[in-house]
Structure 1
Amino acid sequence: MTTFNPAETRIEADYVGEVQIPGDKLFGVNSVRGFQNLSISPLTVAHYPEFRNAFAQCKWAAALANLDSGVLPSAQCEAIILACREVIEGKCDDSLIVDLLEGSGGTSTNMNFNEVIANCAQRLMGHAAGSYDVVHPNDHVNCSQSTNDVYPAALKIATYAMMGPLISEVEKLAVQFDRKSEQFADVLHLGRTCLQDAQPMRLGQLFSGYASLTHRLAEELRNVRGKLLTLPLGGTAIGTGFGAPAAYRGFVYQHLAKITGVAYQAPTNSFDAMQNMDVFSRVSAELRTCSASLSKIASDLTVLSSGPVGGIGELILPEAQAGSSIMPGKVNPVLPMSMIQLSFAVIGNDTAVAQAVQYGQLEINHFEPVVSSRVFDSISLLTNGIQRFREKCIEGIEANAQRNEEHVVQSMAVATALVPKLGYAKVSKLARQSVAEGRSLLAILEESGQMTQAEAMAAIEKATHPVFID
């Protein structure tokens, strides 16, 4: 890119007045107004590369569609495409200054991209930024578009792109749980209900449940991701298509498919596409479900690894870091705790998305920026959090097989396995005796002559390998 002298400035004006813009920046007066009025968070529209790229891809496809429709000269079209490529390469990030959470209904965001692409195109054609004498932000870059169709289109494209890596991480986690299920297949484990001793099982069976859940989470995320393929591009301001040539909509989807490699399509009803954002309620709900489900697993791991002396201590988690600034040697389950905390944030984000979807009005939803901010945040948190959870916690989990078996044989939970041979009433009496005397049920059985410990263990073994007939 051409180097500008920061000491040089240019003047741009709107109905409010004039603003001075540094010579090395590509934004314009509309971007400045959006920055001055609506900067409330630490993140700009360039923070998530997928969102930045999605906007540039929309502008790129629009330029080609406008060329095909005969409303944009080839020189301007080519310059806009080159400028969009520079945006996608991250070369213009320092000029994308509008807050991701801006409250203008997306207009400030759209104009920031329009001005940056126009000024970049101007420069590429040998003209000064800010003059807009060859490439204009509204007349050329925004041709056949409005904020109302390009913003939600970019939001869907970016969300689709971001969900790919997330789904991959969930699938990797599911495979890791599969491996742990196999690793712990022979470890006798005390199953618990309501945090009370319940029935004997295998530790591998517990992890097989985690694996099955996680595979399902990945599948549901894939399903809802597919609902993002319908875009409102071509609807312009309210769904009538007014402001764009009749052939534009057909052309823009053809070009967008080539640019993105994804078969995005026009909606069946363009008014519905402009008015409603229910798809993001569904997307956010699946993100919430994913985080809540993995939080439940993380909570289980925290409980089962508690101790090592005063707790359950049946699982041994990798020691990630010191757990206390005052208690020497203490190690906390920080990775499971992080997953639980992450879920709180994602659930909160989902509430914000639900509110934003609900409060759209009439022909559009002008709360798209908060949907962008919260959905992107949830996807980012989950993608990064799941990766660390898998790599730093799940992969290295070990079982304390001796502790697991001791808890089974010393508890009255084995009682259920003995009912088929001894009957409910007799076993119940012996189980209560076990609790009252603080002795193992197996020892009491052997003393009473009801059953040898070997016979009892055989019954337990059978109970932990159920056979289902479908």
Structure 2
Amino acid sequence: MGQMRTEEDVLGERELPADALYGINTLRALENFPITGRTIATLPEFVPALAMIKEAAALANKEIGALSAQKAEAIVEASQEIRTGKHDTHLIVDLLEGSGGTSSNMNLNEVIANLAARLTGKPIGDYAFVHPNDHVNLGQSANDVIPTAMKLAVFRVSEGTSLALTQLAAAFSEKKKEHSQTLRLGRTCLQDAVPMLFGQTFGGYEAVIERHAKHVEELRRQLLVVPLGGTAVGTGLNSRPGYKQAVFRHLSALVGNEIKPATDPFDGMQNLDACARLSAEIRNSASSLWKIANDLVVLSSGPVGAVGEVTLPAIQAGSSIMPGKINPVVPMAVCQAAFAIAGNDAAIAIACQQGLLEINCYGMLVCDRLIDSITLL
């Protein structure tokens, strides 16, 4: 067994690996929440977003005189190192930790404080110079930091979503032109109806996907309104005069987009409706793709004993005992992804509704499931 170090917490003395950059709060969370086996470091863009907030907070606190230049610079350097992914092995709290993001926030605070100690020639665990709470977390609470980080992470992950939908719409547009004179039998209730053109079918697909691309982009922009500066419940208690304005200015510079405070800080702390709306639109987009995929499954069915109007590319064998049978594997994969997105949206809707009083404690689940939906889409 390797060398250990000790730290005191409310439950007594605890042992930590000597080279661990995390501290006692992180260790306790590790013991309390062995849930998914996935750490906060595995959630795309979340840790970099949280580290940017810590960097912006340090710069703001230095600007208003709440932190010395030396302390702030050490926190900034440590936060920048974390953003590179270099220290992901020390960010070990489970994604679905049950403390409303407190454990995730403390994991970052402790790693930054220990990196700051190491950067200034002090031993890991020596918080005399930079303390996880008193300095790294100055003017902050998990209650405003975590929802801000999750919104920024989702914003970053969804950067290419509208573009992907627009590209798909363009592909349907090409098919519309290619089949502008190709007749087909229109059907309603799966019964023969009236003649139409395949180009018209693809035009309908193009229009709905273009509409989803527009709505997704509009909704993701709402994520740039965040509750940072509200600290515990929205009053801003424990942050100093001038901090909020400074931290938003520095964070906007780091993110490269204007980050705005919630018009009403108490609303900003309590509600995750912007995430619920984006999730619903991601689900709507997936549902439209599901419908299109089902159309292709039906139109390619047979080909002798059913509709058989469309031939899909044969990209893999369909059966080990029926030679020549080709399954519509791509449309079926699209449907399967849509099912998963629908499930994620249900979980997100419940989590957003279940906020209690001044905060919503389920932001980590919302962030995880929303990022999964965006990735699947």
- Measured on the aligned residues, the alpha-carbon RMSD in Å equals 1.4
Superposed, 1:191-270 pairs within 5 Å as 191-270=186-265
**Which residue matches 1:299?**
294
**Which residue matches 2:306?**
311
Structure 2 counterpart of 1:164, which letter? Answer: E
Q: Distance in 2 between matches of 1:58 and 1:196?
A: 58
Q: Distance in 2 between matches of 1:180 and 1:357?
A: 40
**Which residue matches 1:413?**
none
**Which residue matches 1:337?**
332
8 Å Cα contact 1:144/1:234 also seen in 2: yes
Q: Distance in 2 between matches of 1:102 and 1:322?
A: 44
Quickly say closer, same or farther: Cα 1:326–1:21, change in 2 above 3 A: farther
Q: Distance in 2 between matches of 1:299 and 1:150?
A: 42
**Which residue matches 2:162?**
167
Unmatched segments (≥5 aa) in structure 2: none
Of 242-251 and 175-184, deviating more is 175-184
Unmatched segments (≥5 aa) in structure 1: 1-5, 383-470
Cα offsets for 1:392-423 (capped at 9, x unmatched): xxxxxxxxxxxxxxxxxxxxxxxxxxxxxxxx
Q: Is residue 104 of structure 1 aligned with residue 99 of structure 2?
A: yes
Q: Distance in 1 between matches of 2:337 and 2:221?
A: 25
Q: 2:181 aligns with which of 167, 182, 186?
A: 186
8 Å Cα contact 2:19/2:124 also seen in 1: no
TM-score (norm 2): 0.97
Q: 1:133 aligns with which of 110, 124, 128?
A: 128
8 Å Cα contact 2:248/2:260 also seen in 1: yes
In the TM superposition, residue 318 of structure 1 has moved relative to its aligned partner by 2.0
Structure 2 counterpart of 1:248, which letter? Answer: Y
8 Å Cα contact 1:103/1:369 also seen in 2: no
Q: Is residue 82 of structure 1 aligned with residue 77 of structure 2?
A: yes
**Which residue matches 1:435?**
none
Q: Distance in 2 between matches of 1:42 and 1:65?
A: 35
SS at match of 2:193: strand
TM-score (norm 1): 0.78
Q: Distance in 2 between matches of 1:320 and 1:24?
A: 50
Of 318-327 and 365-374, deviating more is 318-327
Q: Distance in 1 between matches of 2:115 and 2:363?
A: 27
Q: Distance in 2 between matches of 1:29 and 1:324?
A: 55
SS at match of 2:125: coil
Q: Distance in 1 between matches of 2:88 and 2:189?
A: 53
How many residue pairs are counted as aligned between the two chains?
377
Q: Distance in 2 between matches of 1:369 and 1:326?
A: 46
8 Å Cα contact 1:359/1:365 also seen in 2: yes
Cα offsets for 1:122-142 (capped at 9, x unmatched): 211222111212111111111
8 Å Cα contact 2:279/2:348 also seen in 1: yes
**Which residue matches 2:44?**
49
Q: Distance in 1 between matches of 2:294 and 2:324?
A: 22
Quickly say closer, same or farther: Cα 1:325–1:242, change in 2 above 3 A: same
Of 29-38 and 313-322, deviating more is 313-322
8 Å Cα contact 1:56/1:87 also seen in 2: yes
In the TM superposition, residue 309 of structure 1 has moved relative to its aligned partner by 2.5
8 Å Cα contact 1:25/1:94 also seen in 2: no
Structure 1 counterpart of 2:235, which letter? Answer: T
Q: 2:25 aligns with which of 26, 30, 41?
A: 30
Q: Is residue 351 of structure 1 aligned with residue 346 of structure 2?
A: yes
Quickly say closer, same or farther: Cα 1:318–1:127, change in 2 above 3 A: farther
SS at match of 1:201: strand
In the TM superposition, residue 320 of structure 1 has moved relative to its aligned partner by 2.4
**Which residue matches 2:376?**
381
Identity of counterpart residues, as a percentage?
50
**Which residue matches 1:68?**
63
8 Å Cα contact 2:44/2:371 also seen in 1: no
In the TM superposition, residue 48 of structure 1 has moved relative to its aligned partner by 2.4
In the TM superposition, residue 34 of structure 1 has moved relative to its aligned partner by 1.1
